[in-house]
Chain A
Amino acid sequence: MTMAVAHLRLAGLVRHYAGSPSAAVDGISLDLPRGALLALLGPSGCGKTTTLRIIAGLEVPDSGTIQVAGRDVTTLPPHQRQMGVVFQSYALFPHMSASGNVAFGLEMRGISRAERARRAQAALEMVGLGALGARKPRQLSGGQQQRVALARALAIEPDLLLLDEPLSALDAKLREGVRDEIRALQQRLGTTTVFVTHDQTEALAMADLVAVMNAGRIEQLAAPEEIFERPATRFVATFVGRAARLRGQLESGGVLRCGGAALRSTTALPPGPAEAFLRPHRVRLLRPGQAPPPGYDNTLDAQLLRRVYTGEIVVLEADTAAGPLTAEMHADGEEGWHGLAPGDALRLAFRPADLAVFRAS
């Protein structure tokens, strides 16, 4: 009988740095199934890179354990961990050719010269660099260096692939393509992967699971849609995606009294001071007096403050009885934003479930 064991299991990882009052990593626990891609998402200094380095064995946790495929690797040095790491700087060996870089891990495993060359070539072909094996890293573009680093990490057929901000050194045009390539390759090889990023789009687009981190802790660990649609904490609601913030008093039955408006929500929180977050793309634009579509139980009369047109998207900032709100829509959608000017009256509507309500701090 086989049991579904997590491929990677982190349990209670803590890491303090000398001279710093708070822990860099403050109790990280998670399970990652085999073949999944986990994104550690958070602002700089949230402990995501430290967590990755602890998994790789480059940092030693003060407490907590790391298990890979049921085996405790917490005390193993990095060279015995069988983990492929792509560093933010790529860390290619400047004195070796691209194939020399890729073959290095195989050489350290005592694989014969001929077999090394064959497998290095195969790994380079896998990332589309089969013809550039003889080049030195400095003779390769940033994108090519990144692929060599990926090929080098994958050539050792790692138990775990670890990527530290692998796209941050690429220019914006390349980033999206490389992102999709890495994801496709990872899925084809079925390599369990942990990926560190501060870019929410990267995390949402690539990952099976996203761990949003803040101040050394995981705020929420869930699938991308879950993270975006149902943020578990205020931090997640504000860090991932944009949201308007409404402050008010929560009454019984999930009604949020906010300025002059009473907004319905689906929260089960007890009455008290609360704040709610509302994603701009969930807000529907209506004409003054127009009846909302079914389910859009919250309506607010508003006055347009600002209109921002970016080609594909139109953003309307409006003042309402509940406070300033932002509505976002496709420029070629059905909603009649054309002709609206600052000062015009309009009506905004949204569903109760679109309000993410939290107790006020």
Chain B
Amino acid sequence: MRPSWWLRLFAALGFVVLLAPGALVALISISAGDFLTFPPPGFSLRWYRALLSNGTLMSALGTSALLAAIVSVLALLLGGPAAYAIARLEFPGRGMLEAMLSAPLLLPTLVLGLGLLLVLQPLGLAATWPGLVLGHCLVAIPFAVRIMTTAFATVPKELEAAAWTLGATPLQAALRITLPNAAPGAVAAAVLTFLVSFDETVISLFLVGPRLTTLPVEMFRYAERTTDPLIAALAMSLIVFAVLMVALVERLLGLTRAMGK
């Protein structure tokens, strides 16, 4: 059935409401003025240039990117085997494991952040790389497990059984047969966990220190102190980056769906 004219209008309205703030930020980011005002007095790329020469934000960006990369790799290495176990193996406590692994998603991040600070501070891990990595993994691993469980579950079990009958040990079959066929899911999990870590603000607020800080925290502080369009330029850059990542996933997964049976 073709959607009615009214439904289309309603959907269009929804999109406008959702996308308007983004469009607003996009316009302000190329403002020539000194303040976050709309409409901008003129247009220029001066705030993008200012962004590149802002040492604090650029160093925080570097920290965030590296942190997100580490978290993404760790989440896959730890979450992948757990997801395989949940999707493929039968063992007592499987349901419990699955529930425990998604529990961090149910807790308010404020609670998580405070809890982490209380635990990590006495250990001397607050405001350190291990502390941040740990905190971010806590919220990234559940995502990795969710996505990878689905990815493993969609690979037919018969493929592994066939590999066994051909002489592959269970480990060989998992690595050579199931894992390659779950690869699109692994890419999706990698991208998503990267973004989860890269955008993580609340937990980071508890765990950063003067010498180690992440981009969302610095953006938050910058926006508190100043009102120039530099923050809009940064926001735009991040939006473009996120859209590119999502497009990459969509292309990879969309492509497999088109090729698969």
Contacts and interface: CB of A to CB of B under 8 A. Distances in A.
B162 interface: yes
> How big is chain A's contact interface, by range?
20 to 34
A94 interface: yes
B181 A95 contact: yes
B228 to A, nearest CB: 52
A83 B168 contact: no
B177 interface: yes
Contacts of B9: none
B177 A89 contact: no
Given A58-B164, A79-B167, A152-B166, A108 B172 contact: yes
A138 B259 contact: yes
B166 A89 contact: no
A342 B100 CA distance: 74
A87 B172 contact: no
A85 interface: yes
Interface in B125-183: 156, 158-159, 161-170, 172-173, 176-177, 180-181
Contact of A104 (B168, B180, B260): B168
Interface in A48-86: 56-58, 77-85
Contacts of B225: none
Contact of A108 (B159, B168, B180): B168
A87 B161 contact: yes
Contact of B260 (A85, A87, A94, A108): A94
A109 interface: yes
Nearest to B176: A104
Given A93-B177, A94-B260, A138-B259, A78 B165 contact: yes
A19 B39 CA distance: 69
B221 interface: no
Contacts of B176: 104
A93 B159 contact: yes
B164 A91 contact: no
Contact of B164 (A78, A84, A156, A162): A78
B2 interface: no
A105 interface: yes
Contact of B158 (A81, A87, A162): A87
B226 to A, nearest CB: 52
Contacts of A104: 163, 166, 168, 176
A88 to B, nearest CB: 8
Contacts of A89: 156, 158
B166 A95 contact: no
Given A89-B156, A91-B156, A94-B181, A58 B168 contact: no
A57 B160 CA distance: 13
Given A93-B159, A94-B260, A138-B259, A108 B167 contact: yes
B255 to A, nearest CB: 13
Nearest to B166: A105
A56 B173 CA distance: 16
Contacts of B163: 93, 104
Given A89-B156, A108-B167, A152-B166, A78 B261 contact: no
Most central of A87, A138, A162 by chain B CB within 10 Å: A87
B167 A95 contact: no
B169 A91 contact: no
Nearest to B180: A95
Nearest to B164: A78
Contacts of B168: 79, 104, 108
A81 B156 CA distance: 22
A81 B166 contact: no
Contact of B165 (A79, A92, A93, A94): A79
A43 B162 CA distance: 24
Interface string B211-252: 000000000000000000000000000000000000000000
For B163, B164, B168, B177, the residue with the greatest tally of chain A CB atoms inside 10 Å of its CB is B164
A56 B172 contact: no
B158 A91 contact: yes
B178 to A, nearest CB: 10
Contacts of A58: 161, 164-165
Contacts of A95: 180-181
Interface in A152-171: 152-153, 156, 162
Contacts of A92: 162
Nearest to A110: B167
A79 B169 contact: yes
B162 A85 contact: yes
A132 to B, nearest CB: 18
B242 to A, nearest CB: 29
Given A91-B156, A94-B181, A138-B261, A108 B162 contact: no
A108 B165 contact: no
A84 B167 CA distance: 10
B52 to A, nearest CB: 42
A173 to B, nearest CB: 22
A20 to B, nearest CB: 17
A315 B75 CA distance: 69
15 contacts: A56-B161, A58-B165, A78-B164, A78-B165, A79-B168, A79-B169, A83-B165, A84-B166, A85-B165, A91-B161, A92-B162, A93-B162, A104-B176, A138-B260, A138-B261
Given A56-B165, A91-B156, 9 more contacts: A57-B164, A58-B164, A78-B164, A79-B173, A81-B165, A94-B159, A95-B181, A105-B166, A105-B167
Q: Identify the 6 closest CB pairs spanning chains A and B, nearest first.
A: A105-B166, A108-B167, A91-B162, A91-B158, A78-B164, A85-B165
